Amino acid sequence: MPAARSQIRLGAVDYLNARPLVYGLEMRSDLFTLRFDVPSKCAALLHEGSIDVGMIPSIEYLRGSSEYRIVPDCAIVSDGRVASVALFSTKPIEQVRSIAADTSSRTSNGLVRVLCYESFGIDPEFVPMPPRIGEMLTRCDAALLIGDPALYLDHAARGIEKIDLGEQWTKLTALPFVWAFWAGRAGLVPHDAVEALRRARAAGIAASDAIADAYCGQHRAALGRAYLRENIKYVLGEREQAGLVRYYQLAEKHGVVAGIQMPAFY
Contacts of 91 (CB under 8 A, 6+ apart): 141, 142
Q: Residues 160-217: pLDDT tens digits? A: 999 999 999 999 999 999 999 999 999 889 999 999 999 999 999 999 999 999 999 9
Q: Based on the number of CB atoms within 10 Å of its own CB, is 25 exposed (0-12), middle (13-18) or buried (19 or more)?
A: buried
More confident residue, 66 or 3: 66
More confident residue, 235 or 64: 235
Contacts of 201 (CB under 8 A, 6+ apart): 20, 21, 23, 73, 74, 234
State the pairing for strand pair 142-146/68-78: unpaired
pLDDT for the residue numbered 188: 87
Mean pLDDT for 64-79 is 93
Q: What pTM, to 2 d.p., does this model score? A: 0.95
Q: Are 35 and 10 in contact (CB under 8 A)?
A: yes
Q: Residues 150-159: pLDDT tens digits? A: 999 999 999 9
End-to-end CA distance of the chain: 29
Mean pLDDT for 60-72 is 91
Describe the strand order of the beta sheet including 85-89 as a list of residue ranges.
125-129, 98-102, 142-146, 85-89, 161-164
pLDDT for the residue numbered 5: 64
Q: Does residue 4 carry a pLDDT above 80?
A: no
For residue 36, the SS3 value is: strand
Dist. CA 111–CA 22, nearest whole Å: 25
- Residue 232 pairs in a beta bridge with none
pLDDT for the residue numbered 149: 96
Per-chain mean pLDDT for the chain: 95
Could you give the maximum distance between any two Cα atoms of the chain, in Å?
69
Q: Are 211 and 19 in contact (CB under 8 A)?
A: yes
Which band of pLDDT confidence, cut at 50, 70 and 90, is reported for residue 119?
A: very high
pLDDT for the residue numbered 128: 97
Q: What are the two backbone dihedrals, phi and then psi, of residue 35, each rounded to the nearest 5 degrees? A: -135, 160
Q: Residues 123-132: pLDDT tens digits? A: 999 999 999 9
Contacts of 194 (CB under 8 A, 6+ apart): 71, 72, 266
Q: Does residue 1 carry a pLDDT above 50?
A: no
Q: Which amino acid is residue 37, in one-letter code?
A: D
For residue 33, how many other CB atoms are within 10 A of its CB?
16
pLDDT for the residue numbered 3: 44
Which band of pLDDT confidence, cut at 50, 70 and 90, is reported for residue 6?
A: confident
- Residue 55 pairs in a beta bridge with 182
Dist. CA 248–CA 61, nearest whole Å: 10
Query: What are the structural domains of the chain?
Result: 8-77+176-253 (3.40.190.10), 85-173 (3.40.190.10)
Q: Are 204 and 228 in contact (CB under 8 A)?
A: no
H or E stretch covering 162: strand 161-164
